Amino acid sequence: MNNSTIKVTKGTGEQVAFDAGKLSTALKRSGAQPNEINQIIRQVESMLYDGISTKKIYQIAYSILRKKSQHVAGRYRLKKAIQELGPTGYPFEKFVGRLFESDAYQVEIGKIVQGKCIQHEVDVVAKKPGKQVMVECKFHGDSARKSDVRVALYIQSRFQDLKAAWKQNNPESQTDYRGMVACNTRFSDDAMQYAKCAGLDLISWDYPTGNSLKDWIDRSGYHPITSLHSLKKREKKELLEEGIVLCRELVNQADFLRKIGFNEKQISKVIKEARLLIA
């Protein structure tokens, strides 16, 4: 069967034509070299069949890439790594906070803030001179699930109450107050339409173009520890519970790795992979 006629099944169940260009772009973003990209695409294409899932294509490409370049493979699996910042949303909140810190914000996680009318528990409050952002983090365990317009409406109403209090307390301030929803998956079309009209900032895996989560991670180099192949699921969970969410934090945690049962060979392997990923 000609590859141009092969249908690929997305996570939503929708079937679309296989697009080698999308795979090429993902590999390029991960840092793979042109010759590696061409080789991987040829190998993937030789294993395609009609109805193959995008998840299976990812698994094939990742398996090939791991053999060629471990740190590039870690960057390629970034979307899956973000999905593994669960099952609770707290590690995702901490990760979003770290991304704001990469842009010189002062960050508080899980803060109770008094609005004009009521108190609100805010996932992330990020501040720097002239700007203050209230961020609600929506983590979905199902990668196909979207944050819909009800989320945007709810968060905008909470933000307006907080903004009214901030302005009331600092009437002369020229601070730009912003509300934001950060989502590990995607937003529905009506959520994006409403947010654009209302002035609510949204950020998800691939939205907005040029400033999405994956763009922010690429720009900052702040890769989550869940990107690491050398860590087992249980070990990632222990590290996340300890508040260690970034590879750049993990490279200084040899003592903690010993504490949870790693031998010196394992520690060396994990730290080496983490350093390669953030290089």
- Rounded Cα gap, residues 77 and 225, in angstroms: 11
Task: Specify the length of the chain in residues.
Answer: 279
Q: Is residue 166 part of a domain?
A: yes
Quick one: pLDDT at residue 91? 93
Cβ contacts of 124 within 8 Å, gap of 6 or more? 93, 96, 97, 100, 107, 108, 109, 133, 134, 135, 137, 182
Angle, CA 62 vertex, CA 35 and CA 78 arms, to 5°: 105
Last residue of a domain, one of 198, 220, 242: 220
Is residue 129 exposed (0-12), middle (13-18) or buried (19+ Cβ within 10 Å)? exposed
Quick one: pLDDT at residue 114? 96
Residues 178 and 108 in one domain: yes
Quick one: pLDDT at residue 13? 83
Q: Tell me how far CA of residue 66 lies from CA of 46, 63, 153, 226, 231, in angstroms.
A: 18, 5, 42, 15, 14
User: Around Cβ 205, how many Cβ atoms within 10 Å?
Assistant: 17
Number of structural domains the chain divides into: 3
Quick one: pLDDT at residue 166? 94
- Domain range enclosing 238: 223-278
Q: Tell me how far CA of residue 77 lies from CA of 21, 29, 229, in angstroms.
A: 18, 11, 9
Average pLDDT per 10 consecutive residues for the chain, totaling 279 residues? 74 86 83 83 89 87 76 73 85 96 96 96 96 96 90 97 94 93 95 97 94 90 90 90 92 90 93 85
Q: Is residue 114 part of a domain?
A: yes
Quick one: pLDDT at residue 248? 92
Quick one: pLDDT at residue 3? 60
β-bridge partners, 107? 126
Q: Is residue 139 part of a domain?
A: yes
Q: Which of 122, 142, 95 is nearest to 246 (CA)?
A: 95
Residues 67 and 107 in one domain: no
Amino acid at 19: D
Q: CATH no. for residue 246?
A: 1.10.150.20
Q: Is residue 260 part of a domain?
A: yes
Residues 138 and 169 in one domain: yes
Residues 60 and 108 in one domain: no
Residues 204 and 228 in one domain: no
Q: CATH no. for residue 126?
A: 3.40.1350.10
Quick one: pLDDT at residue 142? 86
